[in-house]
Structure 1
Amino acid sequence: MNDVIEYLIDGTSGLAPGDVSGSAVIVGVCSKGTVGKAYLLGKRSDLTERLGTGPLVDRLRDVFATGGQEPTVIAVPVEGLPGGYIGNVGHTGSGPDAAVSGVAGANADAVVQIVVAGQLGTATYKLSLDGGETWGNATATPANGQIILGESGAVLTLAEGAHVENDAYAVTVRGPIGPVKRIGAGPTITVTGTVKAGAEVVLLVTGAGGRNVGTYQLSEDGGDNWGPVRTIPVDGAIPVSSTGVTVTVPDEDLTLGTEYHCRLNAPVPSITAVMGALETPLALYDPEFVYIVGPSDAVDWAACGVRADELWNQHRPTYIKTEFRLPYDGEDLNDWVAAWKTERARYSHRFVQSIAAFGEVSDSTGLRRLRNWGGLQCGRVLSIPVHRATGRVSDGPVSQGTLPDGWVENGIHEALEDAGAVSAKMYAGLSGVYWGDSRTLAEPTSDYRYEEILRVVFKAVRLARIAALKSMYDEAGDPALEGNASGLAYLKGSIENALDTMTKATPREMVGYVVAIPSGQDIVNNGVGVEQTLIGVPIIRKIKLFSNFTYAGSNFDPRLKEVA
C-alpha cells in the first residue's frame, strides 16, 4: 500500500556517552552500615547517621572537604579487624638476625638480650617487656629459636648460628589500645573497650580529688582541642565519645595538672574482605577509580593490581588508590620511608597507587587527628579535570593538613616520590603544603607513571569504545574504491566525535588526537584495526630560571640591541 513511511535514524545527535571521570568507590571500615552495600553520598549527607564512625568516615570527610561542589562518591563498608601492629626487629650487635611473627594482642616494648654466647639451645637470653627497665631471669634459648614475648601475642625467632653476648633484639608490639602514659604524679588509669576509630586520647586533671570530686578535660586529638571541664563520675567510667573506649579512673585521688595519654589504633580491613565487599558495588557502578582506606603493603597492592587488570579486561578501565601505614611507635621517618621502599621494591603496577603522605588533618568535626592523606588527595582528584596534575600550585595548598616535623628538612618527599609514592611537599617562599607528582606504582620505563595520564587515557578509551560499538556489524563498504568505504568512515568519524569532547572541553583535556584506520586490512578474517594517538597537555614539572646582570647603556644592554 502506498503511504508515507516513517523511520527513526539514530546515532546522529553527536552525543558521546561513556565518561565516568569524577566518580569514586571508597571502601573502608566504619561502625554502621551494611558490609558490601553501596551508599551514594553527597556533600550534604549525614555521615555519622549513615556510617557511624571509623576510618571510612574520616576519609569521607576529607574527600568532601576537598572534592569541589559535586563529587560523585559511593561508600562501601567493609568488616574490620582489630588495629595494632608488630614492628620490625631492631637488631643491635653482630650476631645472627631474627624475625618476628604473631598477632598484636597486648602492648609490649620487648627486648631480648643474649647473656651467654653460643648456638641455639646453648646460648642464654633475658627478656624485658618494658623497653629494658626490668628484666627476667636468664634462660636457655630454645633449640628452634622461638621466644614468646610475654602476653603480647608476638614470637621472636632467632636465626641459627653463633649468637653473640650482649646482642639485643627489640620489637614493639601495640594492640588496638596503646599503653597509657602518665605525665605527672597520681594513680594509674585504664582504657578498655572495642576501638571503633583511631584517636590520641588525653585526659587532663583540672581539679585534684577522687571520684565525684576531681575534675578533668578530655581530648581526642592529642590535646589540640579540649572538651568541657567535667566532674569525675561516681563509678570512675569516662566514655570517650564515639571511639568505643572508656577511661576508668580508680577510687583514688588524682593530682592536679597530671596528663594521661593513650593512642587508639583504628580497626583495619583485610584485603580479602575488601575484595569481597567490592563485588556487588563494582557490578552495579562504574567508577573512575577505587580508593581503599587502611594500611596496605606489597601483598595488598598485588591483589589490587589483579582486580584492576580484571576491570580492564571487562572494558572498564579503573585504577586503584591505596594508603600506606603510619609510623610505628619508636620508628622515625627514616625507618618509615625505608619500610615503604622495601614494600615498593616487591611490586609494580601501572594501575595502582600508594598514597604515603600523612600528618594531622583538621576536619568538619573541629578535631585535628593524625592520619593518612588519601582522602584529601582523592578529593582533589575529583575536583579537577582529568588532564590536570593534583600538584598544580594555582589550585591552592592542602590547607587541611600539616606535615610531620622533619618531613621537609630531611627530604622525605623526594625519597618517596622518586620511588613512586604519592606524597606532599612545601616550597621555599610559600607557607602551605602542596601535592607533588601523583605517581603510580608503574615501572620507570612506563608511560603511565602519572595519574593524570591514566585519567586522560582511560577516559579516551571509554569514550572511543562506546563510539566504536555503533559500528559493530555495520557494512564496511568497499575499501578498494576511494570514498566507497562508508562504514569505515562512519567508524572513524564516530571515534573522532567522541574524542572531540576532550579536545573541545574547557579547559582542554587533550591537545589533539589522530585516528587512523590502516589500509589493506583483512576485515573479514581479522576485523578492523583502529589506531588512535592521544596527544596530551604537557605538565610543567620543573622550571629553570637563568639570570644575568648588566649595566644600563653597556654593550651588553639588550635594549640597545633591540633599538639598533
Structure 2
Amino acid sequence: MGDVLEFLVDGTSGLAPGGVSGTAIVTGVCSKGTVGKAYLLGKHSDLEGLLGVGPLVDTLKDVFATGGQEPVVIAVPVEGLSGGYIGSVRHTGSGPSATATGSPAGNLDAVLKIKTAGALGTATSELSLDGGKTFASAEATPANGQVTLGDSGATLILTDEEQKEGDTYSVTVRTPIGPVEKVGTGPDIDMSGTVKAAGELVLKIVKGGGRNQGTYQLSLDGGDSWDVERTLPADGLIAAGSTGVTITVPASNMAVGTVYTCRLAPPVPSISGVMAALEKPLERYDVEFVLIVGPSDSSDWAAAGAKADALWNLHRPTYFKMAYRLPQDGETVDDWTAACKAELDSYAHRFVQVCAAYGEVSDPSGKRLMRNWAGLQAGRVLSIPVCRATGRVKDGGISQGTLDEDFNEAHQKTLEKAGALTAKRYAGLSSAYWGDSRTLADPTSDFQYEEVVRTVFKAVRLSRMAALKSMYDEAGDPTLADNQGSGLNYLKACIEGAHGTMIAARPQELAASKVEIPAGQDIVNNGVAVEFTLIGLPIIREIRLFAQYVYAGSRQDPRLEVA
C-alpha cells in the first residue's frame, strides 16, 4: 500500500511470430552421415565432408546454387537400395500387353517376338538377349506365360490371351553398373564395386600400351569434362572418382583411341525408409516443405500425402516435393511422358508436388550429369516470396540446367496439364524456364499452384499463433450493439494484425484479407469460429498480343482525329 507497483503489458507492440517460409528438409541417399540425423546446412557447409557423395549431395548442390544468399536447409540421410531397374515392357503390335518382374541381376536388352499365333503353350516365340540382333530358335510359349530373360533376374509375363503373330515385347534390365560399351579395337575391360553416386563414365586410351606404359583420361560426366592424362596403373585398377566403382584394365596392350563408356545408376531410397528417417527431424524442426530425393511413383506420392495430412492435423502445414524418374535406356521421351502421365492420373493430393523436369545439370566443379531438377526448383522457392511463381521470367532462367533436346512443348504441356512441375523453352530466350508450379491437386481445387499453397500455409500459421493470444480470454458480452464483446474484438484484431504483416511486406505477399466472427455463436459450448478470406495477388499465366497495321495518314490512323 502507498507504493508504486509495476506491471508489464505484453504483446501490444504488433510483433508477429516468425514463419517457416524459406526453410526446408531435403532427404535422400548419401555415402556418409547418420541415417535419420538432421544436418543444418548453409551455403558454405562442407557437404562432402558431412555427407560424402550421392543423390542427396548432388541435390543439395542444386538447392544452394539457386537458393539465394541465405537459404536454410536441413539434410536427412536415408538408407539406400540398389539403383538398378527392370524397365517397363515396350509392346509393338495388336496383341495383348505384357509385364515384367524380378530383381535386376544382369544387364540385358531382351526382345521376344511371337512367331506363330495362338494361345499360351501353343503359340511359338523367338527370344533375343542382345536387343534384337540375334534370336534363338522358335519355341512354344510357356503355358503360364512366364518367359525367363537369361541371367538378368527378370521374367516377362504374357497375359492369358490369344498371342498375335509378329508382336514383339522389349524389356531393358539394368544393374547399378550398366553395360560397358566399347568403340575401338582394344580389349574388354571390367567394372566392379558398389555405386555410391551417379556417373556417366568414359575411359579414353590416349597412348597405347600395357600397364604402366599406356595412358588414359577419365570422365565422370559423359565426356563433358575430363581428368588429367594418367599412366595405366601397374595393377590395372582405376578408381572412378568417388562413385565407388573400380575399372580394371587387362594386362594386355590397350589400343590407342579406344573409348569405353558405362552409366552408373545411383542408389535409391524406399518410401518406408524415408518416412522412418523423417520421423524425428519432423518432430524437432518445423519447415515449409520436404523434398524427397530420388525417383518416385504414385504409391510414394500417396505416402507423402498421408504424412502431409498428419502434419496439417498437428497444426504444422507442410507440403512435399517429389521427383519422377529419368527416362530408362531404350525408352523414348514419348514413352516416358506417357508413363509419367499414367502415374499422375492415378493420384491426387493438394499438398504433394512432383517434378518431371530433367536434363544435364552443371555443378561448381564443372561436372555435368543428367538428373531430375527438383533441387533446382526447391532452391528457387527458398529464395522468393511465398506469393511468387518460380516461373517468373524476370527472375531469370534455369542457367544451371539444359533441357533434354528431345523434350518439346507437347511433352511439357501434357505433363503440366496432368499436374506435374515442368520446365519449358520460350522462343527467343536461351535458357529453360519453369512452367506452372503445379501440385497434384484435383482440377476443382483452389490449391493447384504452389504459390497458393505457400501463401495460405503462411497465413494459417500466423493466424493460429495470433489467435492463441485469446485462448482462455474473456469473450466479453456478445449482446453489445456491435454483437461482439471486447475479447472477440481483440481476437479479430490479432488475426488481422497477422495478415497485415503479409500485406505490408515488401514485396507484398497478400493484397488484403477480411476477418469475420459470425454473430450468435454459442461460445460456451462450441468455442469461437473465425472466418477469414485471403485475397491473393493474381499471377499472369498467359499474355495475348493483338497487332494491327495501318497506313500513316489513312482514315485508320489512330493519331488523326475523326471529325
Separation in 2 of the partners of 1:117 and 1:481?
86
TM-score by length of 1: 0.97
Partner of 1:481: 480
The answer to whether residue 36 in structure 2 is matched with residue 46 in structure 1 is no
Separation in 2 of the partners of 1:536 and 1:492?
20
Separation in 1 of the partners of 2:148 and 2:347?
32
Give a deviation string over 1:238-295, Cα, whole Å, max 9, x none. 1001000011111222221111110000100000000000000000000000000000
Separation in 2 of the partners of 1:432 and 1:377?
14
Partner of 1:434: 433
Q: How does 1:325-340 map to 2 (within 5 A)?
A: 325-340=325-340
CA shift for structure 1 position 116: 4.2
Separation in 1 of the partners of 2:259 and 2:109?
21
CA shift for structure 1 position 161: 2.4
Moved more, 281-290 or 207-216: 207-216
The answer to whether residue 275 in structure 2 is matched with residue 267 in structure 1 is no
Separation in 1 of the partners of 2:250 and 2:138?
35
Moved more, 200-209 or 91-100: 91-100
CA shift for structure 1 position 554: 2.6
| 1:188 alignment partner, SS class | coil
The answer to whether residue 353 in structure 2 is matched with residue 353 in structure 1 is yes
Q: How does 1:211-360 map to 2 (within 5 A)?
A: 211-360=211-360
| 2:561 alignment partner, SS class | helix
| 1:217 alignment partner, SS class | strand
Is the contact between residue 115 and residue 124 of structure 1 (CA under 8 Å) also seen in structure 2? yes
Separation in 2 of the partners of 1:402 and 1:515?
46
CA shift for structure 1 position 364: 1.4
Give a deviation string over 1:156-207, Cα, whole Å, max 9, x none. 1111123234432110011101000011222111111000001100001111
Separation in 1 of the partners of 2:481 and 2:151?
82
Moved more, 163-172 or 322-331: 163-172
Structure 1 portions without partners, runs of 5+: none
Moved more, 422-431 or 267-276: 422-431
CA shift for structure 1 position 90: 1.6
**Matched letter for residue 267 of structure 2:** P
Moved more, 112-121 or 204-213: 112-121
The answer to whether residue 198 in structure 2 is matched with residue 198 in structure 1 is yes
CA shift for structure 1 position 433: 1.1
Separation in 1 of the partners of 2:557 and 2:398?
43
Partner of 1:132: 132
Separation in 1 of the partners of 2:92 and 2:351?
39
Separation in 2 of the partners of 1:553 and 1:168?
69
Is the contact between residue 202 and residue 261 of structure 1 (CA under 8 Å) also seen in structure 2? yes
**Matched letter for residue 16 of structure 1:** A
Separation in 2 of the partners of 1:205 and 1:379?
39
Give a deviation string over 1:433-459, Cα, whole Å, max 9, x none. 111110001111111110000000000
Partner of 1:449: 448
Separation in 2 of the partners of 1:499 and 1:205?
65
Separation in 1 of the partners of 2:304 and 2:519?
39
CA shift for structure 1 position 407: 1.8
Give a deviation string over 1:67-93, Cα, whole Å, max 9, x none. 000001000000010101111112223
Separation in 1 of the partners of 2:336 and 2:540?
30
CA shift for structure 1 position 123: 3.0
| 1:274 alignment partner, SS class | helix
Separation in 2 of the partners of 1:538 and 1:170?
48
Is the contact between residue 361 and residue 368 of structure 1 (CA under 8 Å) also seen in structure 2? yes
Q: How does 1:37-186 map to 2 (within 5 A)?
A: 37-186=37-186
CA shift for structure 1 position 63: 0.5
Is the contact between residue 18 and residue 462 of structure 1 (CA under 8 Å) also seen in structure 2? no
| 2:62 alignment partner, SS class | helix
| 2:560 alignment partner, SS class | helix
Separation in 1 of the partners of 2:114 and 2:556?
74
Give a deviation string over 1:496-550, Cα, whole Å, max 9, x none. 1111100000011011000011111111122111111000011111111111122
| 2:370 alignment partner, SS class | strand
Separation in 2 of the partners of 1:381 and 1:209?
52
Separation in 1 of the partners of 2:115 and 2:541?
56
CA shift for structure 1 position 114: 2.8
CA shift for structure 1 position 117: 3.5
Partner of 1:465: 464
How many residue pairs match? The answer is 562
Is the contact between residue 390 and residue 438 of structure 1 (CA under 8 Å) also seen in structure 2? yes
Give a deviation string over 1:35-63, Cα, whole Å, max 9, x none. 00000000000100000000000000010
Partner of 2:545: 545
| 1:558 alignment partner, SS class | coil
Separation in 1 of the partners of 2:247 and 2:559?
75
Moved more, 46-55 or 15-24: 15-24
Identical columns (%): 65
Partner of 2:365: 365
Q: Which aligned runs of 4 or more in structure 1 are off by greater than 6 angstroms?
A: none
Give a deviation string over 1:345-378, Cα, whole Å, max 9, x none. 1101110000000000001121011111011000
Partner of 1:419: 418
**Matched letter for residue 114 of structure 2:** I
Is the contact between residue 211 and residue 236 of structure 1 (CA under 8 Å) also seen in structure 2? yes
| 2:242 alignment partner, SS class | coil
Partner of 1:532: 532
Structure 2 portions without partners, runs of 5+: none
CA shift for structure 1 position 212: 1.2
Partner of 1:17: 17
CA shift for structure 1 position 556: 2.3
Provide the aligned C-alpha RMSD in A.
Answer: 1.4
**Matched letter for residue 191 of structure 1:** M
CA shift for structure 1 position 4: 2.5
Moved more, 496-505 or 90-99: 90-99
Is the contact between residue 18 and residue 466 of structure 1 (CA under 8 Å) also seen in structure 2? no
| 2:40 alignment partner, SS class | strand
**Matched letter for residue 47 of structure 2:** L
Q: How does 1:476-515 map to 2 (within 5 A)?
A: 476-482=475-481, 485-515=485-515
| 1:65 alignment partner, SS class | helix
Separation in 2 of the partners of 1:463 and 1:105?
52
Identify if the C-alpha distance between structure 1 residues 522 and 168 changes in structure 2 by more than 3 Å, giving closer, same or farther: same
CA shift for structure 1 position 2: 4.0
Identify if the C-alpha distance between structure 1 residues 526 and 366 changes in structure 2 by more than 3 Å, giving closer, same or farther: same
Separation in 2 of the partners of 1:207 and 1:412?
44
Separation in 2 of the partners of 1:457 and 1:94?
50
Moved more, 23-32 or 479-488: 479-488
**Matched letter for residue 377 of structure 2:** Q
Partner of 1:555: 555
Partner of 2:390: 390
